[in-house]
A and B are shown apart, each in its own frame.
Chain A
């Protein structure tokens, strides 16, 4: 069983739709990142969370430490949101991150 799982694996949405991507993990963590990766490989960190909720523009990230679960929401989705979204956790006492497999999002105009 992978330490970090994401659902769905693939997601196709129409422009304007509300999107939710889920991440669950099985280890104790110090922090969780949501990352965005566009075709071509570059990774951008969207959020770092250790509790609660964060909002940046149309993006919202939440984390429930007790349930070991995080969600990334995109409101009013746009084709430029099309990318792979990756959940990554910093494990307690570890110095590195464990990454989920990613969710490939396509937003159609």
Chain B
């Protein structure tokens, strides 16, 4: 396994711009999670996929946020019309189908909105 990867690792954008992040889970992991972590806080759940189906979304995921996992492999998280409050670390994690409640985290994408 090569681990969970995320791209980019850092993104600086101006307020109002759209950004898209990518997560590649460990191969054959059927569950994929997105979390957001602000400075000094623990991660907060955003959304969760089982294969290509988005099964749960947090109320933190406003209508400016959208996530996809079109083929049940990699996932993208898009933020439209970014705001300064969107500045955070965006973490992705994946879980294997046969070991419930295990999560493997990616390195995160740090977003700074200026």
Contact = CB atoms under 8 A, between A and B. Distances in A.
Given A45-B102, A45-B103, A98 B108 contact: no
Q: Give the bracket for the number of chain A residues in contact with chain B.
A: 20 to 34
Interface in B73-114: 89, 91, 93, 100-108, 110
B101 A30 contact: yes
Main secondary structure of the interface of A (DSSP, over half): strand
A96 B110 contact: no
Contacts of A33: 101, 103
Given A30-B101, A43-B105, 12 more contacts: A41-B37, A45-B102, A86-B42, A88-B103, A90-B101, A95-B48, A99-B42, A99-B44, A100-B42, A101-B42, A102-B40, A102-B42
Interface of B: 31, 33, 35, 37, 40-45, 48, 50, 55-56, 89, 91, 93, 100-108, 110
Interface of A: 4, 30-31, 33, 35, 40-45, 48, 86, 88, 90, 95-102
